[in-house]
Chains A and B, each alone.
Chain A
Amino acid sequence: MPLLGYIRIMFSFSVPLGKLVRRASRLRGGGSALPGLVVEKIDPGFMRRTLSTLPHGVAVVSGTNGKTTTTKMVVELLESQGLKVFTNRTGSNFTRGVAAALLGEVDWRGRLKADIAVLELDEAHAVHFVNSVPPRYCLLLNVLRDQLDRFGEIDKTAQLLQHIAAKTTGTVVLNREDPRVARIAETLTGQEVRYFGLDDSLLGTFPNDDDMRAAPGSPATAGLPEKPAADVVLRKVGADSADFEYDGVTVTTGMKLRGVYNIFNAAAALALARSICGSGAATADHESLLEALSQVAPAFGRGESLTVDGQPLDLVLVKNPSGFRLGLKSFPAGGYATMIAINDNYADGRDMSWLWDVEFDSLREEGVDQLTGSRAYDMALRLQYDDVPTGAVQPEIAPALAAFIREAQGKPKRIFCTYTAMLAIRRELSKITTVEVVS
């Protein structure tokens, strides 16, 4: 058989084969990326070929914090405008995960029925992805101190985001308030650049890593030109509402999302959705866009509220100093029982240094009821140096969670947790309450 024909046959089998592997690995209850690996190995062009057929192309969402919730928001905003959206919902935010998610959506001939793909991609993996599939849109959220043990340095992470922007063929949406992200605009030539931004009055609630213990004039902010106009500006955050300004008017909308940083990401999602659907007079349907925004619920573990024993239990994912500080600020301790779960697996970051860049004074009055996770004692030590009283310390998550729920009966509860600790906590909670199952 001629070689070419042989290869064609291989291709025509790659999708059905991948789908079979996907089915098998789901039956097994296994990881979400394996089938993607299989199809990428035997048919490396699968992803590019499939995604290049979409009428609105591909939108990539990247940055350190808030990718999952923001991607979810963008998807819901676009769906409110009648678009059929493909997304990598499983949180498997790297190339194989995208290929695996694609396999779940394509028909047996490998065709994807969607108008656009909105993909959450981890900074480092996004670089590989955009090299093979140049996106039409990208939304770059922030560069924060996260998992530096993986990427090396913040400036390096900014370079990764810059590369994503450079590979984008249409519109790049940037966070105007993050100097490392805003600066990416200077390096771009062909792309349309849009921004989302914050009202000056809210800037103080978003300490960045440079402001942390620094006077103004630190290297990242020095010499930055005057702020550009933003397409969407978050003006005000109320108890369950927010004010957004766009097209010269300020609108107030109810919000299900909690936490200022989640709502700032809503401004980001709105800016990207407006780039895709058209803004100003061209916007398909303003009302439905806002309605969709007001209905967005947080992605799992991102400030999501569950019910346990008739009391709310909030799960707050913390994975870097800025995220932890924002979490403490957005979810005040008063009246709540608090547990902190710190793991140091690869996905959490192995270096515990970051705990020392968070101030825990706000927990001093109420104290922390339970500490758990593989680095529970690192956390206990950290709290000791901030004079925060601690209850029990139990590195095993299951007994710690059981004790927490038992001892804080009748009280609203809150758990700050790293990524893998959150997965473990959700598994335990699913035995006693309803939690979204994420495969």
Chain B
Amino acid sequence: MSTGTPAAAEGKGTLRVVQLYPRDMNIYGDWGNALVLQRRIGWHGYTSELLEYNVGDPFPDDVDIIVGGGGQDSGQLVIQDDLQSRAAALKDLAEDGTPMLVICGLYQLFGRFFKTRTGAVIPGIGILDVETHGTDERLIGNVKVSTPEFGEVLGYENHSGQTTLGSGVRPLGTVAKGTGNNSNDGHEGARYRNIVASYLHGSLLPKNPAIADFLIRTAAERKFGTFEPGQPDDRFAELAREHAARRPR
């Protein structure tokens, strides 16, 4: 690293991103989040390696970032047992500070349980102190969230499960437009260690590069002790944010 060649050309090291269950939990542009991590890692001068983890695969070693998305009810049923079998490993990674982004369906399953409308209880893996209750009401539309860490976060929600946060987590932010976790408390998403959990699609990371860079910075600091950022061109992201913020619910 100290040979004097430009860091970007030489490479500052490799970050391994694992996308959880892309086969079954990959809807509403979840791929966008994986793509943004992959490209921005490169723009910051690091090398990215994107790995997919599906039901029955061996779990990859040396995981630096984990990203997971939403699915239909059928997809959630398919992954349920496999996710339980990986619960301990994922919990260790989470407690150890591995940066993770979980959206919608996997946000719910990272919690304690999901209770369906009919009363059936689907156990989560309990990494996040949250619980989710299925409802008849579908919360749909553009969302604007004020967050202490990432400024204004923009996205699109589409869920009928309503999530309540326990004392072990804090909300990602306060909803300025839209509904968020549930129709009562005005919060959206959850934060715990280096996990960012959210209902927001959009995809989330393209228009919220601050969250993408938080995940990358945390991963780099954990692996290399330091993060040397590059200079991604975020002009389109800024303009897309401005225009998105003005769109109706």
Interface residues of B in 154-188 (CB under 8 A from A): 156, 158, 160
Interface pair A382/B206, CB less than 8 Å apart: yes
Interface pair A155/B74, CB less than 8 Å apart: yes
- Kindly state the interface size class of chain B when it binds its partner: 35 or more
Contacts A149-B140, A218-B23 known; A356 to B29 CB distance under 8 Å? yes
A354 within 8 A of B: yes
Q: Tell me the bound Cα distance from A145 to B28 in angstroms.
A: 9
- Tell me the smallest distance from the CB of A361 to a CB of chain B, in Å: 12
Contact of B236 among A154, A212, A218, A377 (CB under 8 A): A377
Most B Cβ at <10 Å: residue of A218, A344, A350, A352: A352
Contacts A152-B138, A344-B247 known; A353 to B239 CB distance under 8 Å? no
Q: Tell me the bound Cα distance from A155 to B202 in angstroms.
A: 21
The number of chain A residues with a CB under 8 A from chain B is 36
By beta carbon, the residue of chain B nearest A382 is: B206
| Cβ–Cβ < 8 Å partners of B214 in chain A | none
| Chain B 228-246: CB-based contact to A (< 8 A → 1; otherwise 0) | 0000010011011011100
By beta carbon, the residue of chain B nearest A384 is: B236
Interface pair A356/B236, CB less than 8 Å apart: no
| Cβ–Cβ < 8 Å partners of B32 in chain A | 353, 355-357, 385
Interface residues of B in 5-38 (CB under 8 A from A): 22-24, 26-29, 31-32, 35-36
Contacts A356-B35, A377-B239, A380-B240 known; A219 to B29 CB distance under 8 Å? no
| Chain A 336-371: CB-based contact to B (< 8 A → 1; otherwise 0) | 000000001000001111111100000000000000
B203 within 8 A of A: yes
Which 4 pairs show the lowest CB-CB distances between chains A and B? A356-B32, A353-B29, A356-B29, A377-B240
| Cβ–Cβ < 8 Å partners of B141 in chain A | 149, 350
Contacts A357-B31, A395-B243 known; A381 to B236 CB distance under 8 Å? yes
| Chain B 38-81: CB-based contact to A (< 8 A → 1; otherwise 0) | 01000000000000101000000000000000001111001000
| Cβ–Cβ < 8 Å partners of B132 in chain A | none
B207 within 8 A of A: yes
Interface pair A219/B24, CB less than 8 Å apart: yes
Q: Tell me the bound Cα distance from A397 to B133 in angstroms.
A: 43
Q: Tell me the bound Cα distance from A212 to B25 in angstroms.
A: 12
B191 within 8 A of A: no
